[in-house]
Copies of this chain bind each other. A is one copy, B any other.
């Protein structure tokens, strides 16, 4: 048995991916929540999957809600940071929107578990998740602002309301991943490409993609 920070010694050797006990708990929880469901997963099951006592888990997270909140926050934090940085750049809106969408689709695909599948949980509509919802709304507004700027730059007939759709196209990778049972490799290119066409933007996609990838972390 090895000591793993706060809490009691492990019941057995480490069995999850993750550099820290906290990361191992998050990984185990992500698997259980996406494979078994939120209502069917207990903190006890998460602790068992990590190979720690439930009391040790509570040193890191006060409740199952807190674990879900940390997992969800992880899906919007990085794209939100990029969106804020892109908002201050002088590149054409099409390049900046492409960069944000590429990065966001990639991170939703690269995550070990399809955490976006949890966005539609009814629990997320409670006060407990108000901060997460606000962050996700902020990210959505960044998409809408960039999309409106693309429409303005393209100067032609985008359909009314088209600026609402890019955020939804990015989210669709969650459904594709769920249906295909694996992260779709083609999506990081297809989704931003399709997004610009939907907005009525008829420029050179190859050049825009190359310029966008230079902005992606």
- Chain A residues engaging chain B, CB cutoff 8 angstroms: 34-41, 117, 119-123, 125, 137, 140, 158-162, 164-165, 168-169, 171-172, 174-176, 178-179, 181, 186, 190-191, 193-194, 197-200, 205
Interface residues of A, dominant DSSP: helix
| Other contacts beyond A159-B197, A169-B169: 7, CB < 8 A | A34-B122, A39-B41, A117-B120, A119-B175, A140-B179, A160-B193, A198-B198
Given A168-B172, A172-B168, A198-B198, A38 and B35 touching (CB < 8 A)?
Answer: no
Distance between Cα atoms of A159 and B101 in the complex (Å): 16
Chain B residue with minimal CB distance to A36? B122
Distance (whole angstroms) from the CB of A22 to the closest CB of chain B: 24
A194 touches B165 (CB 8 A): yes
Distance between Cα atoms of A194 and B39 in the complex (Å): 36
B120 touches A120 (CB 8 A): yes
Contact of A123 among B37, B41, B165, B172 (CB under 8 A): B37
